[in-house]
C-alpha cells in the first residue's frame, strides 16, 4: 500500500507536484501539499522551487564548467532540466526543448522520434517529445526520492494530468513516458477536472456556494492548450452531486500562442530601430517574451515594463547587442484584442486558408480568439448557459483577461435573459492558478479512496461488443450476431468491469473485425448479459479491424479461449481486454465520448 497520493501536472510550460498522505492517524483527510522541486537555477546552484519549468537544455561539449551541472542525485546529468534550462535556452534557443507536451498530440509528426529542438542545426543532438516528457517526470521522481528515501515515488499512487482534449494516442504516450521514467503504473486525469477538484479541496463549504441546477464552466488556459468543461450540480437522495456533462475539442491554443504574439510585436519594435532579427535571434526573443509576459502579468504589483536583449551575430557579438523593452499595457492590449475579443454568442472560429506545403510543427488552432472557440463550445453543448465560472491557468492571473471573459460571457447570458455568472474563487486564487491542476490531481486520488468528493462522469450509453454465433455455415448468409454488454449505462469513468463468467474464442495472428454497438434507451442491461438478437434500439458503431499479435512463435491463425474485462478510464476511453488463461492479454480501445457524440 502506498504511503502518499501524488498528483503531477506535466505542463507545457511548467510542471508541478502535489501530494497528501494516503492515510492519517486520526482518520481525517490530510490537506494537499505542494512539493518544492530541487533544480539548478544557476550553474552550481541548486534550489527547491514550487514549479519545475518544462524546459530541457541539451548542453554542448565544454559549455559548462565540470561539476557545475551536478544534482543531489546525479553528478553528471545528460540534460539540464528546469529553471537553468529555461534561462540558458533564452541565450541559445537551438539547444532548448520546450512545449514537448504539445508535440505528444501532434498528428503531423511521430512524437517517438527525435524532433526537438525543431530549429536545431546539424550537429546538435535532438530528443523525442516522449523522451523529453520522460526527463521531466524522471527529474520529479528523483527530486522526490531524494527528499523521501523511505517512500520512493515509484511505489506511491501517482496521477498525471493531461488536457481534456488529448486523444488516445497522446494519453498512451504520456503513460509511456511515465513508464520510461520509472513509474510502473499511473492514472491519467483531465486538467479541467483537476482544477475543479482543487477548488473543492480548498473550499470545504462548496455545497453552500452551488445548488441543484447550477452549471459550472471550467476554462483552463495552459501553456499549450485551452480546455473547456461543463460540470452540472445535481441532487440525489438529498445530497448534492457533481457530474461532468461536456468536454471541449482538442484546442492547441494557449500561452505559447500569446508568447509568439508578444514576440512579433517586440520584433516590430526592433525593426523600427533598424534591427532585423534572424531566425535564431527571434527564437531568443520569443523565449524572453515568454518570461516577460509572466512577469508583467504577475499581478497588480508587476513592473510597468520588462527589458529585452538581443545578442549580435558574428565576431562583433557584444558590440552588436541591441536592447529594447516591452510595456505591460501593450502586452495586455495584445492579449485582450487578439485572444479575447468581444464577440457575439453565435461567433465561430475562422478557418484560414493554408499553403499546401508547411513545415512539420504543432497543429495550432487557426483562429487565436479564445472567446470564439468558447462560443462554439457552449452552442455544441446545447446552447448551455453556465451559472458559475472557474478559471485556471497562469495566463488568467491577469485581471484584465479575467474581467474580459466575464464581460463576454455575461453579455451572452444577458441576451438570453439568463442571470450573470458567479465566480468560483478563494483567497489563494493566484497560487491556485499555477498549482491547481497538481493539487486537484492529488485530491482526486484521495477521492478515489473514499476520502473526498468525486465528480461523476457516467457513460451516457450502454455499450456492447458483437459475438458471432457458433453455427454451421449456410451459403449466402453470415453467421448470426449476438451482443455482449460490456459497459452498462451510467458506469462511472474510472471503473473496471470483469466478466469471468463467460469464455469466448479470440482469433489472433490475422486480421479480424470487432463490431461494437451502443444504445441510449437500454439502461438496464447488466454487464456480461448476452443479447441473443441485435434490436432496433441498438446502434452499430464503426467497426474496428485489427490484427492482434499471437504472442507466440506461431505465424498463422490461432484461436485462443479468453474472458473479457472492460475499463472506462477517467479520460473517457473504453478499454476492452481479452484475457487468456495463460496470462496473455490483448487490448482494444475507443473514446466513448467521441463515439457518443458522433452517433448523436
pLDDT tens for 368-425 read 999 999 999 999 888 999 999 999 887 887 778 888 999 999 999 999 999 999 998 7
Q: Is 399 helix (H, G, I), strand (E, B) or coil?
A: helix
Burial profile 154-185: b = 16 or more Cβ within 10 angstroms, e = fewer: eebbbbbbbbbbbbbebbebbbbbbeebebee
In this predicted structure, the answer to whether residue 554 has a pLDDT above a threshold of 70 is no
In this predicted structure, the answer to whether residue 150 has a pLDDT above a threshold of 80 is yes
Rounded-to-integer distance, Cα 224 and Cα 227, Å: 10
Report which of 477, 478, 474 is spatially closest to residue 466, judged by C-alpha positions: 478
User: Crossing angle, helix 370-380 and helix 399-415, to 10 degrees?
Assistant: 40
* Cell representation of residue 268: 516590430
Kindly state whether residue 131 falls inside one of the protein's structural domains. yes
Q: What's the CATH number where 39 sits?
A: 3.30.420.40
* Cell representation of residue 357: 506545403
Report which of 209, 254, 259, 206 is spatially closest to residue 227, judged by C-alpha positions: 254
Kindly state whether residue 45 falls inside one of the protein's structural domains. yes
Choose one of 130, 156, 189: the last residue of a domain.
189
Kindly state whether residue 553 falls inside one of the protein's structural domains. yes
Strand partners, 218: 229, 390
* Cell representation of residue 55: 524546459
Number of domains in the chain: 2
Report which of 166, 195, 110 is spatially closest to residue 569, judged by C-alpha positions: 166
Kindly state whether residue 328 falls inside one of the protein's structural domains. no
Kindly state whether residue 435 falls inside one of the protein's structural domains. no
Kindly state whether residue 402 falls inside one of the protein's structural domains. no
What is the average pLDDT across 179-189? 93
In this predicted structure, the answer to whether residue 72 has a pLDDT above a threshold of 90 is yes
Of the pLDDT bands very low, low, confident and very high (cuts 50, 70, 90), residue 476 is low
Task: Provide the domain limits for residue 558.
Answer: 462-599
E strands in 411-522: 422-423, 455-456, 462-468, 481-487, 495-508, 512-514, 516-519
Kindly state whether residue 539 falls inside one of the protein's structural domains. yes
| pLDDT for 353 | 60
pLDDT tens for 216-235 read 999 998 877 888 989 999 88
Question: Residue 107's CB: how many other CB atoms inside 10 A?
Answer: 10
By percentage, how much of the chain surpasses pLDDT 70?
Answer: 88
Burial profile 70-99: b = 16 or more Cβ within 10 angstroms, e = fewer: ebeeeeebebbbbbbbbbbbbebbbbbbbb
Q: What pTM did the predictor assign?
A: 0.77
* Cell representation of residue 540: 452499430
| pLDDT for 420 | 96
Kindly state whether residue 561 falls inside one of the protein's structural domains. yes
In this predicted structure, the answer to whether residue 558 has a pLDDT above a threshold of 50 is yes
Place of cell 564548467: 65
| pLDDT for 432 | 67
What is the average pLDDT across 51-61? 95
Report which of 295, 308, 10 is spatially closest to residue 171, judged by C-alpha positions: 10
Q: Which residue has the higher pLDDT, 384 or 164?
A: 384
CB proximity list for 403: less than 8 A, separation 6 or greater: none
Rounded-to-integer distance, Cα 485 and Cα 463, Å: 6
pLDDT tens for 239-296 read 788 888 887 876 878 888 898 899 999 999 888 888 888 876 887 788 788 778 877 8
Q: β-pairing, 322-327 with 33-34?
A: unpaired
Query: Is 559 in contact with 553 (CB distance < 8 Å)?
Result: no
In this predicted structure, the answer to whether residue 430 has a pLDDT above a threshold of 70 is no
Q: β-pairing, 239-247 with 226-236?
A: antiparallel
- Please give the mean pLDDT across all residues of the chain: 85
E strands in 223-271: 226-236, 239-247
| pLDDT for 5 | 96
Choose one of 143, 160, 189: the last residue of a domain.
189
Choose one of 189, 212, 237: the last residue of a domain.
189
Amino acid at each position: 500500500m502506498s504511503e502518499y497520493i501524488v498528483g503531477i501536472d506535466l505542463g507545457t510550460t511548467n510542471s508541478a507536484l502535489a501530494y497528501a498522505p494516503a492515510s492519517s492517524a486520526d482518520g481525517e483527510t490530510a490537506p494537499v501539499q505542494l512539493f518544492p522541486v530541487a533544480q539548478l537555477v544557476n550553474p552550481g546552484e541548486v534550489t527547491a522551487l514550487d514549479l519545475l519549468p518544462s524546459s530541457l537544455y541539451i548542453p554542448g561539449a565544454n559549455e559548462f564548467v565540470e561539476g557545475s551541472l551536478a544534482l543531489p542525485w546525479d553528478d553528471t546529468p545528460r540534460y539540464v532540466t528546469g529553471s537553468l534550462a529555461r534561462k540558458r535556452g533564452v541565450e541559445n534557443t537551438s539547444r532548448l526543448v520546450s512545449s514537448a507536451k504539445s508535440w505528444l498530440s501532434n498528428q503531423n509528426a511521430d512524437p517517438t522520434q527525435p524532433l526537438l529542438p525543431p530549429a536545431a542545426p546539424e550537429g546538435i543532438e535532438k530528443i523525442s517529445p516522449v523522451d523529453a516528457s520522460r526527463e521531466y517526470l524522471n527529474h520529479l521522481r528523483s527530486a522526490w526520492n531524494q527528499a523521501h528515501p523511505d517512500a520512493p515515488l515509484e511505489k506511491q499512487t501517482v496521477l498525471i494530468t493531461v488536457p481534456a482534449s488529448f486523444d488516445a494516442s497522446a494519453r498512451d504516450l504520456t503513460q509511456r513516458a511515465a513508464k520510461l521514467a520509472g513509474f510502473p503504473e499511473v492514472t491519467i486525469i483531465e486538467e479541467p477536472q483537476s482544477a475543479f477538484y482543487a477548488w473543492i479541496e480548498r473550499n470545504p463549504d462548496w455545497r453552500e456556494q452551488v445548488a441543484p441546477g447550477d452549471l459550472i464552466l471550467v476554462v483552463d488556459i495552459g501553456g499549450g492548450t485551452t480546455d473547456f468543461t461543463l460540470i452540472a450540480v445535481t441532487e440525489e437522495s438529498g445530497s448534492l452531486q457533481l457530474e461532468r456533462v461536456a468536454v471541449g475539442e482538442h484546442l492547441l491554443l494557449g500561452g505559447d500562442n500569446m508568447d509568439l504574439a508578444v514576440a512579433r510585436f517586440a520584433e516590430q519594435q526592433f525593426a523600427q530601430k533598424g534591427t532585423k532579427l534572424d531566425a535564431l535571434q527571434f527564437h531568443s526573443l520569443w523565449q524572453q517574451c515568454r518570461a516577460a509576459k509572466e512577469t508583467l502579468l504577475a499581478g497588480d504589483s508587476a513592473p510597468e515594463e520588462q527589458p529585452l536583449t538581443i545578442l549580435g551575430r558574428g565576431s562583433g557579438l557584444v558590440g552588436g547587442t541591441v536592447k529594447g523593452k516591452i510595456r505591460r499595457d501593450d502586452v495586455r492590449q495584445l492579449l485582450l484584442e487578439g485572444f479575447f475579443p468581444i464577440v457575439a454568442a453565435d461567433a465561430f472560429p475562422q478557418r484560414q486558408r493554408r499553403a499546401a506545403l508547411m513545415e512539420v510543427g504543432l497543429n495550432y488552432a487557426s483562429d487565436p480568439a479564445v472567446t470564439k472557440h468558447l462560443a462554439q463550445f457552449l452552442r455544441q453543448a446545447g446552447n448551455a448557459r453556465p451559472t458559475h465560472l472557474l478559471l485556471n491557468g497562469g495566463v488568467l492571473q491577469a485581471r484584465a483577461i479575467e474581467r474580459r471573459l466575464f464581460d463576454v460571457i455575461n453579455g451572452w447570458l444577458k441576451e438570453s435573459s439568463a442571470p450573470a455568472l458567479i465566480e468560483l474563487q478563494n483567497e489563494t486564487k493566484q497560487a491556485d492558478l499555477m498549482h491547481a491542476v497538481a493539487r486537484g490531481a492529488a485530491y482526486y486520488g484521495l477521492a478515489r479512496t473514499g476520502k473526498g468528493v468525486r465528480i461523476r462522469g457516467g457513460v451516457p450509453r450502454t455499450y456492447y461488443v458483437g459475438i458471432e454465433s457458433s453455427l454451421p455455415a449456410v451459403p449466402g448468409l453470415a453467421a448470426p450476431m449476438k451482443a455482449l454488454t460490456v459497459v452498462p449505462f451510467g458506469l462511472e469513468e474510472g471503473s473496471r468491469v470483469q466478466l469471468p463468467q463467460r469464455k469466448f474464442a479470440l482469433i489472433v495472428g490475422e486480421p479480424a473485425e470487432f463490431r461494437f454497438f451502443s444504445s441510449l434507451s437500454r439502461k438496464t442491461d447488466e454487464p456480461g448479459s448476452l443479447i441473443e438478437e441485435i434490436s432496433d434500439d441498438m446502434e452499430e458503431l464503426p467497426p474496428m479491424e485489427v490484427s492482434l499479435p499471437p504472442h507466440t512463435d506461431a505465424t498463422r491463425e490461432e484461436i485462443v479461449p479468453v474472458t473479457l474485462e472492460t475499463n472506462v478510464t477517467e479520460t473517457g476511453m473504453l478499454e476492452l481486454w481479452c484475457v487468456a488463461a495463460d496470462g496473455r492479454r490483448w487490448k482494444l480501445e475507443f473514446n466513448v465520448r467521441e463515439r457518443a457524440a458522433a452517433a448523436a
